[in-house]
Amino acid sequence: MKPIGPLMWEHRLIEQMVPLMKKEINQIEQTNKPDVNFIDTAVDFFRIYADRTHHGKEEDILFRELEKKKLVPDLARIMEELTEEHVGARRTVGKLREARDAYVKGKSPATETIKACLIELSTLYPKHIEKEDKQFFYPILDYFSDKEQAYMLEEFNEFDRNMIHEKYRDVIERSGGKVIR
């Protein structure tokens, strides 16, 4: 298996969140009331799965290794754009969480902010995924030997194994518990 395989599988799951966000956008437009439970789920999904797990492997492993290579200008530009899009997505998810908290406290413009964040994320991710899948992932494989690709895949697997522990250490800490490291 190539190291882009797991990343593309993760894309398929992220793509499934997009129609759920569009459904929530429609619900907000009809009722002017966001579903707080859905917003909590979406924030958790984007923070833990899309950003920390998926973007984490891309940035902490794939992009790190690509920075050691002399990429052609087009691929270097795309990698920079992808990183900027990751940063933008993090910022939007942060705004979504803040707007959710404001909504719960009864602050009226929060509903429009929630809707705007959902629109932004549901617009960004399909384009971002298409760029990675169709313009970036396959060409960058040429920069890695089979041995380097196998090692990267092992790093991805180790990264994923550690994620479950990281998530639930955070759950304990947020709940007031003390985690021994």
pLDDT of residue 131: 98
- Mean pLDDT, range 153-160, rounded to an integer: 94
Confidence grade of residue 18 (pLDDT, cut at 50, 70, 90): very high
- Write down the CATH number for the domain with range 4-174: 1.20.120.520
The pTM (predicted TM-score) of the whole model is: 0.89
Window from 10-24, 65-79, 121-135, 152-166 with minimum mean pLDDT = 152-166
Among 151, 148, 3, 140, which residue's Cα sits nearest to residue 71? 140
Helical segments of 32-145, H only: 36-44, 56-57, 64-66, 73-104, 110-130, 137-141
Tokens 């909590």 locate to: 40
Residues 51-104 have pLDDT tens digits of 999 999 999 999 999 999 999 999 999 999 999 999 999 999 999 999 999 999
Domain boundaries, the chain: 4-174
Residue 94, burial from CB neighbour count under 10 angstroms (0-12, 13-18, 19+): middle
Retrieve residue 41's tokens.
Answer: 């789920």
What end-to-end distance do the CA atoms of the chain give, in Å? 33
| Residue count (the chain) | 181
Distance CA 58, CA 129 (A): 12
Report the pLDDT value the prediction gives residue 13, as an integer from 0 to 100: 95
